[in-house]
Structure 1
Amino acid sequence: MLVDYAAPVAASPAEAEAAAVSAEQVGYDGFAAAETRHDVFTTLALVARATSRIALQSAIAVAFARNPMNVAVLANDLQLISEGRFRLGLGSQVRPHIERRFAMPWSRPAARMEEFVAALRAIWAAWATGERLAFRGEFYRHTLMTDFFNPGPNPYGNPPVALAAVGERMITAAGRVADGMLVHPLTSAEYLGERILPVLKSARGNLAGFRLEMSAMVVLGADAQQRARAEEAVRGQIAFYASTPAYRPVLELHGWGELADRLNLLSRRQAWTEMAAEITDDVLNAFAVTGDPATVAAGLRARFGRVIDRISLYTPYEADRYQLAAVRTALRSEPVSD
């Protein structure tokens, strides 16, 4: 299992750059940046110039805020700048954000995402071969590429594409057209084993060469007081995710469908404190691993060690970097639990 460092979601591009340099120096395998307050491609361009070894991941770039040509250019440039270290992680976001924040169209997200990736690959293929670009789909049409705008074949090849997915249709799309899948932090071991893996295998036939990557929620601290603060933040983050209707199937698997409904109603009132209080210990323990670094590493190994290829730690609080480093070391050295 490779261990990546995930930049704090509120980090500025410059802060992410500094964090990536530090992550490379201490031995992380990869660096993942999210797209929340800043453009993820801008952030990773800075990171690519400041580092030389560490793999780079957009986790995620919002696909439907753009179009396949935009993303093809951005990803191609990052692959060039990083000299082949870039991995393109794409996600759909949810309908209100696409329509109301980005003013972009939304319909049939899984089918649209599958076509998005197909268009992306068609554009890259046209650049690599010089053949005419002639992609015509239901959602996207790309039929013009002159030499003036053609960057030509990328000497490092095209970056691998991973899709973020939770529901069955998007998981199927990932299995059909992507090189890997980004497993959402609100994922239990049971949901991964009983829902995600069977759907992927049905879509692909087998998982050979297909990489599963995950940002896993952990409650980490040097003492009980630090862990209590971390636990409060993680309860709030679980409540936030679980209030989103798209993530309801995860809770339903555990018999917590009514909790998802309550959280959704509370979120409409922005009752964030009340929402966090709804997260019982059972819910917390299903989606997060708690303890000191050795305990956290052992828990992550037991849950995901045989399935997840790359992992990062999701900490919606200010985690001690030495504690994070200790988890990384333990993850690499600890055998998979029976």
Structure 2
Amino acid sequence: MKVGVHVGGPPSSEVARFAGWAEEVGFDVVTTTEVDHDPFLPLALAAQATSRVRLATGIAVAFARTPMAMAYVTNDLQALSGGRFVLGLGTQTKPHITRRFSMEWGKPVTRMREYITALRAIWNDWNKGEEVRHVGEYYRHTLMTATFRPAPHGHDNPPIHLAAVGPAMTRLAGEVADGLIPHGFSTERYFREVTLPALEEGLERGGRDRSEVSVHCPGFAHVYAPEGSVDEQRRMLRGRVAFYGSTPAYRGVLALHGWEELHERLHALSVRPEADRWDRMADLVDDEVLDTFCTSGTLPEVAAELRRRFGGLVDQVHLHPPAGTPEAEIRAAVATLHDSDLPAEEPALPAGER
């Protein structure tokens, strides 16, 4: 099992320092995400400070950019990193694409399939000499002249890991992507009973083997910060579960556990105007629900529980050790997860806590 760690914040010398440290203590992947900063610039700094770790977006928003715009920045990162870049792609939601990025929305699964096809066609033009001729419903790329064609960088195309919530996007990942990134709002049961079967259907459609797709660990993992109150940190996690649980798109995860009523109550509160609605929503997430969605505890406890829940099922997991965590403890946790390529153990927790 590969172990990744997230680097946040704006591009700075601290990003390079952190990436170099992560590589030295044994992490396999350094990731960024597209929230309040560009996800690509920090990886350019990380590439220059490392030589072994993979550098990944987890995720970048696909539909905020055309395939051509995405191709240029990712091709440069693949060259700069010596072939270590991984492109994690996600769709975001319609309001963000249309109202925040001012881009067009379409059928997300159909559009993502075409996006990936177009992206690979562009990369192949630049690095394999295959002239780009992509004509689809959403994207047309039929012009590439020598002035605008980067020189071949000598590496394979970056792997594309696809974020998925529902079965349809998960099937697409199995069919055409190099990796699957399940949404954080997931549970061990949902992963086993919904996500993995959908992935297998996609693999079968694409005539592919499970070994061809790198599967990331689902769910929320939180290591308690030693200087903070555990109750306060669990309160923060309750709020996170409540936020996602209020979204109709994620209702199916709660429904699988028989918690449809919880979704209805969360959603009803989320659309009310009261300023305290988010606190009231967090109050609805009890310990059973929280511990089903979240793996939380000390770093050794989180590493051991992730291994127990998902060992033998996933290929990559992410840890987020809080500041001040002893380096020896981090190394030990990474080693524990590296040794997780074993048949998954039978769940030891009661059904409601998985």
TM-score where L is the length of structure 2: 0.88
Residue identity opposite 2:5 in structure 1: Y
Answering whether residue 133 of structure 2 is matched by residue 145 of structure 1, we say no
Q: Quote the residue 2:2 is aligned against.
A: 2
Distance in 1 (CA, whole Å) between partners of 2:202 and 2:54 is 27
- Greater alpha carbon shift after TM alignment, 99-108 vs 283-292: 283-292
Q: Quote the residue 1:29 is aligned against.
A: 28
Residue identity opposite 1:220 in structure 2: V
Distance in 2 (CA, whole Å) between partners of 1:6 and 1:153 is 30
Answering whether residue 329 of structure 2 is matched by residue 330 of structure 1, we say no
Distance in 2 (CA, whole Å) between partners of 1:278 and 1:327 is 32
Listed one character per residue, the Cα deviations across residues 59-112 of structure 1 (whole Å, up to 9, x for unaligned) are 000000001111111111100111111100000001111011000011211111
Residue identity opposite 2:19 in structure 1: A
Deviation, 1:216, is 4.5
- Counterparts of 1:219-298 in structure 2, within 5 Å, are 219-221=222-224, 226-268=229-271, 269=273, 271-298=277-304
- Greater alpha carbon shift after TM alignment, 327-336 vs 25-34: 327-336
Aligned residues: 334
Rate the CA distance shift 1:282–1:110 in 2: closer, same or farther, 3 A. Answer: same
Rate the CA distance shift 1:223–1:121 in 2: closer, same or farther, 3 A. Answer: closer
Residue identity opposite 2:313 in structure 1: V
Distance in 2 (CA, whole Å) between partners of 1:337 and 1:232 is 30
Instruction: Tell me the secondary structure at the aligned position of residue 193 of structure 1.
Output: helix
Residue identity opposite 1:228 in structure 2: D
Q: Between the two proteins, what is the percent identity of the paired residues? A: 43
Contact 2:161 2:180 in 1 (8 A): yes
Residue identity opposite 2:294 in structure 1: A
Answering whether residue 300 of structure 2 is matched by residue 300 of structure 1, we say no
Q: Quote the residue 1:210 is aligned against.
A: 213
Deviation, 1:264, is 2.6
Superposition misfits of 4+ residues, deviation over 6 angstroms: 222-225
Distance in 2 (CA, whole Å) between partners of 1:73 and 1:223 is 42
Q: Quote the residue 1:156 is aligned against.
A: 155
Rate the CA distance shift 1:143–1:200 in 2: closer, same or farther, 3 A. Answer: same
Answering whether residue 11 of structure 2 is matched by residue 13 of structure 1, we say yes
Contact 2:33 2:57 in 1 (8 A): yes
Q: Quote the residue 2:64 is aligned against.
A: 65
Q: Quote the residue 1:169 is aligned against.
A: 168
Instruction: Tell me the secondary structure at the aligned position of residue 92 of structure 2.
Output: coil
Deviation, 1:35, is 0.6
Contact 2:6 2:320 in 1 (8 A): yes
Rate the CA distance shift 1:188–1:216 in 2: closer, same or farther, 3 A. Answer: closer
Residue identity opposite 1:310 in structure 2: Q
Contact 1:34 1:58 in 2 (8 A): yes
Rate the CA distance shift 1:254–1:215 in 2: closer, same or farther, 3 A. Answer: closer
Residue identity opposite 1:273 in structure 2: D
Contact 2:186 2:218 in 1 (8 A): no
Residue identity opposite 2:264 in structure 1: D
Deviation, 1:320, is 4.5
Rate the CA distance shift 1:326–1:240 in 2: closer, same or farther, 3 A. Answer: farther
Deviation, 1:246, is 2.1
Distance in 1 (CA, whole Å) between partners of 2:69 and 2:121 is 13
Q: Quote the residue 1:120 is aligned against.
A: 119
Distance in 2 (CA, whole Å) between partners of 1:55 and 1:131 is 27
Q: Quote the residue 1:313 is aligned against.
A: 319
TM-score where L is the length of structure 1: 0.91
Q: Quote the residue 1:136 is aligned against.
A: 135
Deviation, 1:310, is 0.7
Deviation, 1:119, is 0.6
Distance in 1 (CA, whole Å) between partners of 2:232 and 2:306 is 21
Distance in 2 (CA, whole Å) between partners of 1:36 and 1:313 is 19
Distance in 2 (CA, whole Å) between partners of 1:308 and 1:330 is 14
- What is the RMSD computed on CA atoms of the aligned residues? 2.2
Distance in 1 (CA, whole Å) between partners of 2:337 and 2:166 is 28
User: Could you list the runs of 5+ residues in structure 1 that have no partner in the other structure?
Assistant: none
Q: Quote the residue 2:351 is aligned against.
A: none
User: Could you list the runs of 5+ residues in structure 2 that have no partner in the other structure?
Assistant: 347-354
Rate the CA distance shift 1:171–1:301 in 2: closer, same or farther, 3 A. Answer: same
Contact 2:54 2:84 in 1 (8 A): yes
Rate the CA distance shift 1:198–1:215 in 2: closer, same or farther, 3 A. Answer: closer
Distance in 2 (CA, whole Å) between partners of 1:12 and 1:72 is 22
Answering whether residue 185 of structure 2 is matched by residue 186 of structure 1, we say yes
Contact 2:223 2:320 in 1 (8 A): no
Distance in 2 (CA, whole Å) between partners of 1:333 and 1:170 is 30
Rate the CA distance shift 1:325–1:36 in 2: closer, same or farther, 3 A. Answer: farther
